[in-house]
Every structure is written in C-alpha cells, then in structure tokens.
Amino acid sequence: MSDREAEFREFVGARMESLRGLAYLTCGDWQVAEDAVLGALAKLYGRWHRVDNPDAWARTAVVRAAIDETRRPWWRREQSHSHAAMPDRVAPDETRGVDERLRLRAALGRLPVKQRAVVVLRFLEGFDVRQTAAALSLPEGTVKGYTSRGLDALRLILDERTEGRRAHRTF
C-alpha cells in the first residue's frame, strides 16, 4: 500500500462517521447521506495529493452532494431509498438526550434545504459565516439571512411542539 493510500485510509477512518452525520443532518435520510459521503470521498481520493485541506474539502463536498440528492425527483429518490436496520438494543449512555435530539432532527427536517444546510454548518459543524458561504457557494449576506430565518423557524417549530405536548397532557 502506498503512503498516499495509507493517508487516505486513515483520513476516512477518522472522519467517516462525522461526515455521515453531517450529510444526514443536511438531507434527513441515512441512505442518501451514505451515498453523498461515498461519492464525495471517491472524488476526494482522485484529488488527494492536490487538496490542501481535505477535511474542509470533504465537508463541503458532502453537504453539496446531500443537497443535490434532496433535489432529485421523488420517484428516483424512492427507488433508491432503504431504511437502516434498528439496533437490537441501545447502550445506556446513548439514551441521554435522545428525545431532544429527535425533536431537533425533526425540526431541522422541516426547514428548507439550504436553510437547514446553513444552520447545520454554522451551529453543528462550527463554521463561521465566511466558511459557510464558501462551502455552499453563497454570498455571506445570504448565509446571514438563511441563518436568521432558519433559527426563527426552528424556534417556532420547537415552541409549537412544546405547546402541543403541554396541551396533550391536560386532557
């Protein structure tokens, strides 16, 4: 195995799960997320020796691929859609905060794709406005607008769900 191949394998081993998570939060489908990550990594492998910052390059490519996948016509998406198998049991440490993560994931799923991508990059990946704009090929002003509208929408969605749960408990 060449040094180039060994470096790439090490990179993939270290970043695969976080890239899958980023893609999933962007598109909301594990299979689509997996496809987006694998496609991005395949492209990265061909450019491995020319890319200065492979981590940033991979995250940008994964987000763009996940967004592109969500734009596919529904019938093509349904043909390639499969559901991931549920684990037999969950480790006790993994159950903390599950409800909150599920609420947030559902709320993110209700945002328009580009708003969701901006919010995920800004607040879950820790990108600043400039990095997010570069990753999504958007003007910085657009990123700021999507951030503001996305956060406002998330607040409304999460408040709506909280109110719904409170109303349900009173009956």
* Contact of 107 with 157, CB cutoff 8 Å: yes
- CATH code: domain of residue 42: 1.10.1740
Identify whether 165 is part of a domain.
yes
| Amino acid (one-letter) located at 2 | S
Identify whether 13 is part of a domain.
yes
pLDDT of the residue at 82: 44
pLDDT of the residue at 91: 56
Per-residue pLDDT of the chain (171 residues; tens, 9 = 90+): 788 888 999 999 999 999 999 998 888 888 888 989 999 999 999 898 899 899 999 999 999 888 887 766 544 444 444 444 444 455 555 555 667 777 888 888 899 989 999 999 998 888 999 999 998 889 999 999 999 999 999 999 888 766 655 544 444
Range of the domain at 154: 96-171
31, two tokens: 């299979």
Distances (CA, A) of 142 to 47, 133, 156: 30, 8, 21
Residues 72 and 131 in one domain: no
* Contact of 66 with 27, CB cutoff 8 Å: yes
pLDDT of the residue at 40: 92
Residues 65 and 106 in one domain: no
Residues 76 and 116 in one domain: no
pLDDT of the residue at 92: 52
Identify whether 87 is part of a domain.
no
pLDDT digits (tens, 9 = 90+) for 77-101: 444 444 444 444 555 555 556 677 7
For the entire predicted model, the pTM comes to 0.57
Last residue of a domain, one of 45, 60, 82: 82
DSSP summary character for residue 83 = P
d(CA 168, CA 59): 40
Q: For the chain, count helices (H), then strands (E).
A: 8, 0
pLDDT of the residue at 100: 76
